[in-house]
Structure 1
C-alpha cells in the first residue's frame, strides 16, 4: 500500500469528530471522481423497516432540498438501491437499475423515485452495503457521479480503483460507529446525559440526587425529559438508546 494511502488511513482513524471524518472521506471520494455521496446508518432496523429517520446517521453533500424530500416524504423506504442495501452486503453498480427498468421489474412508485433522483442529477453511481453484526443495524453509502457523467464513466473509475474505494469506505463506516453524532431531534442536555450515565451505573434516583446536589423530583424530571427526547417509554430504554446513539459517556472536547 502506498505511503500516501497509509497516511490518509491514519488521518481517518485519528479523526475526533464526525464532521472532520466526513469531509476527509468526501474529499477522497471526490478525488476518485465521485461528485456526490449519501451515507446512512441505523441501529434501529426492524426486518425490512429501517425505523424512524430521526434515529439515522445521515451524511451527504447532496442538495438540502433533495434530502428534505427524499427523507421527509420517506422515499428512501422504497428507493431501489436502498432496498438492495437492506437485503445485501457488498457492492452494486447502478447499471442494474437500467437492466431492471428494461425488464419492467420496478413498481410505479419505484420508477417515480428513480425519476425524482434523475431530476436532481442523481442517476449514476455505485452502492456499498456494509456487513452488519446485528440484525438491528444497517449501513450503506451511495457514491454518485456528476450530472454530466455516464454509468460507463463510473464503471471505469471502479475498474481502476474499486478495491481501494471499498477498503476506504469500510474503514470510514467502522470509524463512524465510534464517534458521537448530534441528532437534532434526539439531542440530550448535559444534565440529561449525566443522570442517564448514573442510571447506567446502577444508581437510583435518590442516589443521583445526592451525587448532583439536586432533589429526587428534579432527577425524575431530567429522566422524563430524556425519555421524551429519545422517544422511548422507560428509563432502561433511554439508557440503551442513548448508548446506541453515542449520546452518553462522551469525552468533552
Structure 2
C-alpha cells in the first residue's frame, strides 16, 4: 500500500473532531476526482424506513439549495442509489441507474429524483455502502464527479484506485461512528448529558441528586428536557439514543 495512503489513514484515525475529519476527506476525495460528497448514517432503520431524518448523521459539501430539496422534500427516500445501498454492501458505479432503467424501469418517484439530480449536476459518481452488524443501522456515501464529467471517466478512475477508495471510505465511516455528531435539534446540555450518564450507570434519581448536590426535582427536570431534546418518551430510550448519537460518555476535544 502506498505510504501516502497509510499517512492519510493515520491522519484520519487521529482526527479529534468531525469537522476536521470531514474537511480532510473532502479534500482527499477531490484529489481522486470526486468533488461533492454526501455521507449518511442511521441507527434507526426498520426495513426501508430509515427513521426520523433529524436523527440521521449527514455530512456533505453539496450546496445548500440542493441539500434543502434532497432532504427537505425527502427525495432521498426514492433515490435509486440509496435503494441500492440499502440492499447491498460495497461500491457501485452510477451506471447502475441507467442499467436499471433499461432492464426493469424506474418508478415515477425515482425518475423525479434522477431528473432533479441531472438538473443539479449530480449525474456521475459512485456509491459506497458500508457493512453493518445491526439490522437497525445503515451507512453509505455518495461520491459525485465534477459537472461535465462522464461516467466512463469515473469508472476509469475507479478501475485504477477503487480498492484504496473503498478502504479510505470505510475508515472514514468507522471513525465517524466514534465521534460526537452535534445536531442542534438533538443537542443536549452538559447537565443533561451528565444525568443520562449517571442513569446509564444504574443510579437512581435520588442517587444522582446526592452526587450533584441538587434536588430530585431538578434531576427529573434535566431528564425531562433530555427526553424532549431527543424526541423520546422514556429515559431508557433517551440513554439509548444519546449513546447512538455519541452524546454521552464522550471526551471533549482540545
2:11 aligns to what? 11
Cα-to-partner distance string for 1:193-228 (whole Å, 9 max, x where unaligned): 011011111111111111111111111011000001
Partner of 1:185: 185
1-side partners of 2:122 and 2:61: how far apart? 12
1:15-34 matches, within 5 Å, as 15-34=15-34
Partner of 1:121: 121
The answer as to 2:108 corresponding to 1:108 is: yes
**Structure 1 residue 104: Cα displacement:** 5.5
Counterpart CA distance in 1 for 2:5 and 2:125 is 23
Q: Deviations over 1:33-54 (max 9, x none)?
A: 1111110011111111111111
Distance 2:153 2:214 in 1: 63
The gaps in structure 1 that reach 5 residues or longer are: none
- Residue of structure 2 in register with 1:149 after alignment: 149
In the alignment, does 2:63 pair up with 1:71?
no
Q: Does 1:88 align with 2:95?
A: no
Structure 1 equivalent of residue 60 of structure 2: 60
1:46 aligns with 2:46: yes
What TM-score do you get using the length of structure 2 for normalisation?
0.97
| TM-score calculated relative to the size of structure 1 | 0.98
Partners in 2 of 1:205 and 1:71 — Cα distance?
39
Gaps of 5+ in 2: none
Q: Within 1, Cα distance between the matches of 2:120 and 2:184?
A: 25
What RMSD over aligned residues (CA atoms) do the two structures have, in Å? 0.9
Q: What is the CA deviation profile of residues 116-143 of structure 1, one whole-angstrom value per residue up to 9, with x for unaligned ones?
A: 1111100000101001110011000010
Q: Distance in 2 between matches of 1:33 and 1:145?
A: 6
Rounded to whole Å, the distance in 2 between the matches of 1:7 and 1:96 is 33
Q: Which runs of 4+ in 1 moved over 4 A?
A: none
